[in-house]
Chains A and B, each alone.
Chain A
Amino acid sequence: MSVPWGETRLVQGNEAVAYGALAAGIGFFAGYPITPSTEIAEVLARYMPIMGKKWIQMEDEIASISALIGARIAGCKSMTATSGPGFSLMQEGFGYACMTEVPLVLVNVMRGGPSTGLPTQVSQGDVMQARWGTHGDHPVIALAPAGVKECFELTIRAFNLSEIFRTPVILLPDEILGHMRERMTFPEEEEVEVVEMPVPDVPVEWYEHYHDSANNVSPMATFGSGYRFHVTGLMHDAQGFPTRKKEEVNAKMARLKQKITRRLKELEDVRMHNMEDCSVVVFAYGSVYRSALAAQAILKKRKKKIGIFRPVTLWPFPDRTVKENLDSKDVIIVPELNQGQMIHEVERMTKDTVRVIPLHRVDGYEITPEQIVDAVMEVI
């Protein structure tokens, strides 16, 4: 028994990610250990081999993500876990997975950067890298948990989304979450929904690996299942063979984009607190969200009201929901553990009359509730 279904116990964030992967039916893990993500690999290494699943420590991160792509095309749900420096190396393979539409889950436990940076300290510096890190024009799905239980839940959701949208998904916890231990109650096994990508049922000669179906996502055959297809990072046609034909290139690029943009509702996950009758809103995600909640509690005692807006799905950015809910406010404070990344998205979606105030911290420590309270008191 791997996942402790129904149990209440002390769980670390990284452990919860590993259990989430097991709950989602992971069949293959390849990775290269790096602080602060190492425990994910450790926990999976303990369970996967005895469950008859493959766990490989690769020579580096590029090899890791490449192995993942191969494993998924062979039919195994796969995941890797890394942090900043490894995430940079994985961009290459990540783009390949976007292009070849291979579902996989990439966990990046964010630590201080650039480069080797602050290995044991917290940061949210990779938020834009998650969006634009790999080259080319591509959609991305990225989720940011804010607690140990969410590490578990969002890992399962990441697997499910990757299978539904046939695309790689990034999970973005940070060092605080990865190393944090909390009391957590696991759900019962029946309560967890696990999605499997449909397999093609057409005759072999009709199969198109990148068939343009109604929702832009076609069932994916696996190697060895009798279906013939080609996999390449080059621009390709429906069978997967390289092409330079204008209409085929345009169709592919449109499909990559539309499979995400046409179903934003399914992807969007936003938590809002106390948004009515307040003029000041704190926009926070990841572990900073908890500082915002604590700040809200402190301010409540002082009879001051603030709203909190938290995107759980960071990418695609919840454009419309942000506009609907934040455009009418006076001030939006955006605390981030970087020098200002998501704040540009907030600015993009709100009109000029809304004051958007940054609150940065990049010294490897978390933003305290008091910092947010101070920022609020200046404008309220």
Chain B
Amino acid sequence: MRLQLSAAAALASLWMTVWATAAAEPTGDHADVAVRTSLYADDDATVISTTSVAVEGRATERATLRAHYVADAVSSASVDVVTAATGRWTELRSEVQGGAAWSDGTWAVTADYVHSREHDWASHTVALSGSRDLFQHNLTLALGVSAVDNQVGRAGDVTFARQQRSAGVDARAVWVASPRDLWSASYTVGYVAGYQASPYRYALVAGPAATAIGFPETAPDRRLRHAVTARWNHAVFTAAAVRSHARVYLDDWGVASMTAGTGLAVALGEHLEVEATLRGYLQRHAAFYQDVYDQPRRYLTADRELSTFRDVFAGARARWRGERVVVDAGVTGFGFWFAEFERLPRRLGVIGELGLRVAL
């Protein structure tokens, strides 16, 4: 409770500081400050509060510097921890990021570093990207690479330390198909090596007389992931856009999924914009996933995110754009339906979000 009150006080102070900054006299178009808070709650007894602060400033005519801080406060007593015979847990994740971007209007490059830390997890990420505009800015080709080093621990066990490393490449094309149509297509490949199970979850193996025995999770230590994504923004009426996207995903664990979504964003007058979104997701399970294993196997998982399931997210957002201030608020409802996870066949929840951006 004390942690929550301190976090709430810090959050309120942060919002007031940014709002006071917005009320001050402008000093020129040199920097943006953005603060965002979201609250996630589901009927699996999990609440996540996320707050981020981002600053972006112009260093030269062509270069910008940026930084952000993100704090996640998680409180959960989901069926995972019930299965592990532990009680409700809370934890705080902090993430800092620093980066730079350069663009001459045709070429653009970015470089970012991210460090994330929680009590049982530490992560370092380096990401680089470059892009080039072609054909009178009707086509943009972009290539990004990233590398992540994760150190995985276990609460209350100083002897437990595992490493997980990953690397990814993202190739992207964005093209102007017409004065009303903007398309994007991308291919992403990622490779993950190292520890990829959870030290807290236990997979169930059928025992004698209809009982089940919990075994620590074991997962393959290599994973190759592919995603192909298409996005399409189409201008309709005088000041509205239909924004659609689709993704196909495959990996060598046997997970396959399809994602599709669409949304309508409408400008109501000079300052106000409203948006409605709908997103659906279908997933086939990993080859080694079973809800309850018939016998101990080389790979055992209780990760329902590796099972067969579908989910739907539906949201609405309003955004007000002033001369120097942008404020937005949104709410999203969601449902997950797990076909092969008897302990939690359905999960429903809501996400509320509030954002503020100020140009200094």
Are A and B a genuine interacting pair, yes or no?
Answer: no
Binding site for A on B (CB under 8 A): none
